[in-house]
Amino acid sequence: MVNIQRVAKEAGVSVATVSRVLHDQNTVTAKTRLKVEETIQKLNYQPSMLGRNLRKSESRLLLVLIPEISNPFYFDIIKGIESFAISHNYNILLCETDSSPERENIYFDLVKAKMADGIISMDPAVNVEALLDLAENHAIIQCSEYMIEKEIPYVTIDNEAAAYRAVKHLIKIGNKKIAFINSNQKYLYARQRNKGYQKALEEHGIPVREEYIFHTEHLGFEYGQQAAKKILNLNDRPTALFAVSDLLAIGALKEISACGLHVPDDMAVVGFDKIEFSNMTNPALTTISQPMYKMGTIAVEMLIKKLKGEKVESVILDHELVIREST
Amino acid sequence: MVNIQRVAKEAGVSVATVSRVLHDQNTVTAKTRLKVEETIQKLNYQPSMLGRNLRKSESRLLLVLIPEISNPFYFDIIKGIESFAISHNYNILLCETDSSPERENIYFDLVKAKMADGIISMDPAVNVEALLDLAENHAIIQCSEYMIEKEIPYVTIDNEAAAYRAVKHLIKIGNKKIAFINSNQKYLYARQRNKGYQKALEEHGIPVREEYIFHTEHLGFEYGQQAAKKILNLNDRPTALFAVSDLLAIGALKEISACGLHVPDDMAVVGFDKIEFSNMTNPALTTISQPMYKMGTIAVEMLIKKLKGEKVESVILDHELVIREST
DNA sequence: CTGAAAGCGCTAACAT
DNA sequence: ATGTTAGCGCTTTCAG
């Protein structure tokens, strides 16, 4: 392996000068610079980041914690994160936690061991204690999910307002019996969306019926199917349903048509997230769209600021209702 | 930051002893070990990987190159890679190349700069020259895609046999006019699957009709839709279609039902990959399943072997035909 | 404008 | 069983 010493010797200069050339410092004569650059070419020298990292005590690696790599909700966020990070000379380590504390710990340890500089956490099931603990000495940003009253900066949308908007849309087009497929209430976003659901109903004088509200353990097609099955078996069958995730809504769509019913005539359906699939279903899904890509870029921007020691403020972004064929 | 020196001083031993305790070497007295362990606890010492990495000249980071993070084809492969890697103390840097050479180069440079130890390439559009060049001095494995006659080890399935199997199934259930949605022939897998398609037809005395073969630039729903549109407009309309990717097949499904036609009665459809979503379509998609997870674990296993300097052999895995409602 | 040298935190060969 | 020490490759301060 050819190192900086070797280049210096070959070019007849000191390692300091090679380093200066490498970093575009103007304190080098054109002539010296040329000589060094030629030598670098000739020897095909590539500076090792290992040395650099140790010296500067940084890794330029950022961790992104997500529960499941296959959840399409994260795709565009990750794209945003990646593009911003790369353009600022950071790399992204995508970490699938499976919402398991052990798995999470591996990644937390990576930061403690200086193998990564900071974390963007998108796992709603993250171990809060551990995260807060880590945040004392390390740069951490939460994306999409967050903790009220805690000092970890976050970027998110207004979940309550978004759910309210979705349900209000269902009411406007004539539905009064609206089922709600929510995920586990231990997640803040689930509680907030539940609030939005209830608020919309109450505002229109529609009583909230507990038997219309369902909770799923995970976000996946099959959980949507199961919930839909229960909804369809209800005595006083709802005419519409709102699911907190497109995945759940798509599963429900499948179940509804499997029962020979028609969307939206027999049952209107609204999802959440506007994942790409949601336009491929039959009928195409009405859903809430979040500015994913932007959320990603903002999250890294905040993280990099934090890494520099700057003060960062949390951000709440706008959402949109995308009306398609399912309502 | 508390370092090994500090621990050594505090515990009244040498840094070597601390290092020995850290690495579970038995050459340390129980008493000394205890003292050191207590000190580590007390100071909350966490060894820095930066120092370790420089010293050992390794990063324990593996790159996984994929064209698109959102392509479900890769999900289980990645899961397999991750679990095997983590259990062997490696971490995975998932790299989205967008099939762009510039983007790819960023990652190749990461390896050259010793920031990563090796690469698993799954990008069929990878810059072959650059990859072969890199492979001269670095550990590289190809997964799913590969190069014939080149020395980079790979793990894959028999694409020709799989396509042959799919088309033969369509013939068996009574189809003679079978359209084929392939991706760009510049990819080896596309050429191999094309061979399988032709072989099945020829074996049953069915002439290969050029107008039944379509090529898409990318693998995405919308490309499948477009191709299906053309197929449906054909004078002598096919009664079945085989797509080289579930994504394409699902797009086709959407288009077919949008035209008021019925699958499988008017048009039987077979996909490829058995992505999760392929079971959520209406009707559920018949498809070819590859042992993704296993492919992933084998790929890392090969890479780690290579890193150790061992000789590795390429592997070809089995596939399966999963018959569902679309045929 | 350039060079010498310290040192980032760790491992491991060698010495005791 | 434990300590001493060189050195991984780099950046940066200080001197000249």
Query: Is the Cβ pair B282, A277 closer than 8 Å?
Result: no
As a rounded value in angstroms, the CA-to-C1' distance for B17 and C16 is: 15
Q: How far apart are CA B98 and CA B69, in angstroms?
A: 9
As a rounded value in angstroms, the CA-to-C1' distance for A19 and D13 is: 14
Are the CB atoms for A267 and A323 separated by under 8 Å?
no
Q: How far is CA B176 from CA A13, B229, B237, B238, in A?
A: 75, 20, 11, 8
pLDDT of residue A25: 78
**Amino acid making up residue A221:** F
Tell me: the pLDDT tens digits for A233-248? 999 999 999 999 999 9
Tell me: the pLDDT tens digits for B198-257? 999 999 999 999 999 999 999 989 999 999 999 999 999 999 999 999 999 999 999 999
Q: How far apart are CA A252 and CA A249, in angstroms?
A: 5
Tell me: the pLDDT tens digits for B68-86? 999 899 999 999 999 999 9
Nearest CA-CA partner of B123 in B167, B168, B71, B194:
B71
Consecutive 10-residue averages of pLDDT for chain A (327 residues) = 94 95 88 95 96 96 94 94 96 93 95 97 94 96 91 96 97 97 94 97 96 95 95 96 96 94 96 92 94 97 95 96 96
As a rounded value in angstroms, the CA-to-C1' distance for A17 and C5 is: 14
Chain B contact set for A59 (CB, 8 A)? 50
Query: Is the Cβ pair A280, B48 closer than 8 Å?
Result: no
pLDDT of residue A26: 79
Q: How far apart are CA B136 and CA B126, in angstroms?
A: 16
Domain A4-47 bears CATH identifier 3.40.50.970? no
pLDDT of residue A75: 94
Please name the member of B1, B79, B221 whose beta carbon is closest to the beta carbon of A280. Answer: B221
- CB of A324 within 7 Å of some strand D atom: no
Query: Is the Cβ pair A115, B257 closer than 8 Å?
Result: no
pLDDT of residue B1: 82
> Best residue in B43, B86, B89, B94 to probe A by mutation, most A CBs within 10 Å?
B94
pLDDT of residue A327: 94
Q: What are phi and psi of A182, to 5 degrees?
A: -105, 165
DSSP strand pairing (A320-322 vs A286-289):
antiparallel
Nearest CA in chain B to A253: B280
Under DSSP, is residue B286 helix (H, G, I), strand (E, B) or coil?
Answer: strand
pLDDT of residue B280: 85
Query: Is the Cβ pair A221, B48 closer than 8 Å?
Result: no
Domains of chain B: which residue ranges?
Answer: 4-47, 58-156+292-318, 159-289
- Give, as one character, the DSSP assignment of residue B72: G
The token duo for A152 is 């970890």
Comparing A4-47 with A159-289, is the CATH topology the same? no
Q: Which nucleotide is the nearest neighbour of A53, by CA and C1'? A: D10
pLDDT of residue A150: 86
Q: If one looks up domain B58-156+292-318 in CATH, what number appears?
A: 3.40.50.2300
Chain B contact set for A69 (CB, 8 A)? 69, 75, 78-79, 94
For residue A72, is the peptide bond before it cis, meaning its omega torsion is within 30 degrees of 0? no
- CB of B12 within 7 Å of some strand D atom: yes
As a rounded value in angstroms, the CA-to-C1' distance for B50 and C9 is: 7
Fold of A159-289: Rossmann fold (3.40.50)
Q: How far is CA B213 from CA A22, B84, B176, B228, B238, in A?
A: 53, 39, 14, 11, 11
How confident is the model over B174-179, as a mean pLDDT?
97
pLDDT of residue B36: 95
**pLDDT higher than threshold 90 for residue B27:** no
pLDDT of residue A250: 95
Q: How far apart are CA A202 and CA A163, in angstroms?
A: 13
A96 touches chain B (CB under 8 A): yes
Q: How far apart are CA A161 and CA A272, in angstroms?
A: 13
pLDDT of residue A307: 95
pLDDT of residue B261: 95
